[in-house]
Amino acid sequence: MSKIYFTLTGTKYYHGNEFLKPGMKLKLKKEPDNKFDKEAIVVKKEGLGEIGHVANSAHTVIGESMSAGRIYDKIGDTAKAKVVLVTPHGTICSLSKKSLIDNKHKKTEEAVDE
């Protein structure tokens, strides 16, 4: 599977995006109780807490990156990611392959087969 990219948005409502740098590690956490979006995924940075959300609108998703709705079922309750590119319109991040549910399932199957 090729890399999965997503747009980090809403940073202006938290700490801005000036501190974000390529390679910076982030944590994603599903927010099933979010009253605005049932597929909401909050993005956190260690030491800062919440810094934004995975974009989930055609107006906020940049280019061919995936929306929260497209990655929601590909991850568990939490996932890891890293910053790839910071722009004035949003930040492009890549999802860690180790965070993908299919990847975890395959590793479990391989361990059972051995």
Coil, strand, or helix at residue 76? coil
Fold type of domain 5-113:
Alpha-Beta Plaits (3.30.70)
Note down pLDDT in tens along the chain; length 114 residues: 589 999 999 999 999 999 999 999 999 999 999 999 999 999 999 999 999 999 999 999 999 999 999 999 999 999 999 999 998 888 999 999 999 987 544 444 344 444
> For residues 43 and 27, is the Cβ–Cβ distance under 8 A?
yes
* Domain regions of the chain by residue span: 5-113
pTM for the model:
0.86
